[in-house]
Amino acid sequence: MAIDFILLRTDSDSHARLGRITTPHGEITTPAFAPVGTQATVKALDPRDLHELGAELILGNTYHLYLRPGADLVAEMGGLHGFMGWDGPILTDSGGFQVFSLANTRRVTDEGVEFRSHIDGSRHLFTPEMVVHTQEQLGADIIMVLDECAEPNDRAYNEQALARTHAWAERCLHAQQRTDQALFGIVQGGVFPDLRRQSAEFLTGLDFPGYAIGGLSVGETKEQMYSMLDITAPVLPEDKPRYLMGVGAPEDLVEGVARGVDLFDCVLPTRLARNGALFTRAGRINIRNAQFARDAAPIEDGCQCYTCRSFSRAYLRHLFKAGELLASRLATIHNVHFLLELMRDIREAITAGSLQAFREEFLGKYPIIPHDVRAANREKRKSRSASHSTTN
Ligand SMILES: [Zn+2]
């Protein structure tokens, strides 16, 4: 087995689990959040920062790395670990999510998905066999099957996509050659309970070493996402890790853990940081706002990150206003610390048997951004990167 998963404790008031995944590159204590290193770098941070922040798993994007610099080159340079100088566990996605977000330039058949590169317009074909081979070249500890990401509310499309996703999952299993990487299956099915259940049952039958829940946090409401987790998690085997893909809003980490999720990843903390949006337990602040111009306090009182121990809000605001590189780095350190610290608190609460109290206290203070505001932000991002993927 490429990875080993031990369940250390299950919460008596919820479906939360405390566990440990052992990989060829070290251990991950779960539930865990993985910062995203889209192009073999977690933007604005280096591996030393990530270790200091306590990151135990990071993510790389196959779509981006396949196009640039190319998986052959990465393999030649010692795989992703050697290439980027990160010796801890790495997870790569299959590239499917990015390709399916290139709505205008892709074509799906049972064979695979054909698309045009967002860099130079060149044509490429991702098949299940090919994405497994590419991820074997990249050399992450945890790799993903190719799946079809359908629009979550379209019933007919989800039925069709699910059949393809399941056939592709089997082909990925057969294509796998390396024995030191754990290939995870991906549950799809949009916002439809019966499809989600059917998908989780089918994939469980294929006996993957871990299971991802895909196709969520893509425009559906939070209630829909939570109810899909309520339906899916209990169908998945207890003794395998469960990974909720692309989810990283603080409230979703708390709610996901309570529903039995072990792993999360998202570009949210790093992308927000570069825009000057910073997490606090009382909600997000935008450091560019004039109210912080003469504010000598740290981003958040009591935060133990390097940024908060060393710098004021006034200084950070100045760095953003002046367009200084340091702004991105200091803001990213704080936001990544915030989510990793939240996961540490969650794990402690599970250990102490007090997750329910922690959940109520955290959610009582943290204001959730309304669905229509999130939807508008999503549209803005889409139109800004019209030809390009959503993950960066
Ligand atoms: Zn901080």
For residue 391, what pLDDT is reported?
A: 45
Mean pLDDT (whole number) for 3-12: 98
Query: Which pLDDT belongs to residue 136?
Result: 98
What pLDDT digit, counting tens, does each position of 155-187 carry? 999 999 999 999 999 999 999 999 999 999 999
Residue 386 pLDDT > 90: no
Q: What is the mean pLDDT of residues 70-97?
A: 97
* pLDDT > 70: percent of the chain: 98
216 contacts 225 by C-beta, under 8 angstroms:
yes
Q: What single-letter DSSP state applies at residue 309?
A: H
- Cα 29–chain centre separation: 16
Tell me which of 11, 49, 262, 265 is the catalytic residue: 265
Does the reported pTM lie above 0.85? yes
* Distance of CA 332 from the midpoint of ligand 1 (Å): 9
pLDDT, position 316:
98
> Is residue 269's pLDDT more than 60?
yes
Tallying the residues shown for the chain, one arrives at 392
Active site residue 301: no
207 Cα to the center of ligand 1, angstroms:
41
Question: Count of CB atoms within 10 A of residue 244's CB?
Answer: 29
pLDDT of residue 103: 72
Tell me: pLDDT of 392 over 50: no
Average pLDDT over the chain reads: 96
| Sheet-wide strand order for 107-108 | 107-108, 113-116, 123-126
Helix (H, G, I), strand (E, B) or coil at 3: coil
| pLDDT tier at 36, thresholds 50, 70, 90 | very high
Under the banding of pLDDT at 50, 70 and 90, the label for residue 153 is: very high
For residue 251, which of 361, 363, 339, 357 has the smallest C-alpha distance? Answer: 363
Q: Which of 112, 120, 114, 106 is nearest to 145 (CA)?
A: 112
Mapping DSSP onto H, E and C, the string for 6-45 reads: EEEEECCCCCCEEEEEEECCEEEEECEEEEEECCCCCCCC
Mean pLDDT over 276-290 rounds to 98
| Backbone dihedral angles phi then psi of residue 60, each to the nearest 5 degrees | -120, 150
Mean pLDDT, residues 300-309 taken together: 98
Distance 183 CA to ligand 1 centre (A): 35
Question: In angstroms, what is the span from residue 197 Cα to ligand 1's centroid?
Answer: 40
Q: Which amino acid is at 83?
A: F
Q: What average pLDDT score do residues 248-268 get? A: 98
Give 108-126 pLDDT, tens digit per residue. Answer: 999 999 999 999 999 999 9
Token pair 């980027």 is found at 84
At 385, is the pLDDT very low, low, confident or very high (cuts 50, 70, 90)?
Answer: low
Q: How confident is the model at residue 390 (pLDDT cuts 50, 70, 90)?
A: very low
What separation in Å is there between the alpha carbon of 277 and the centre of ligand 1?
12
Question: Known catalytic residue: 265?
Answer: yes
Of 11, 93, 147, 262, catalytic: 93
How far is it, in rounded angstroms, from Cα 363 to Cα 270?
A: 22
Q: Is the pLDDT of residue 383 over 90?
A: no
Kindly report the CA angle at 50 between 67 and 390, in degrees rounded to 5?
Answer: 35
Question: What's the mean pLDDT in 13-24?
Answer: 98
Omega cis (within 30) before 237:
no
Q: What is the whole-number distance in angstroms between the Cα of residue 60 and the centre of ligand 1?
A: 25
Contacts of 123 (CB under 8 A, 6+ apart): 114, 115, 116, 117
Render pLDDT for 315-365 as a digit per residue (tens, 0 to 9). Answer: 999 999 999 999 999 999 999 999 999 999 999 999 999 999 999 999 999
**CA of residue 309 to ligand 1 center, whole Å:** 7
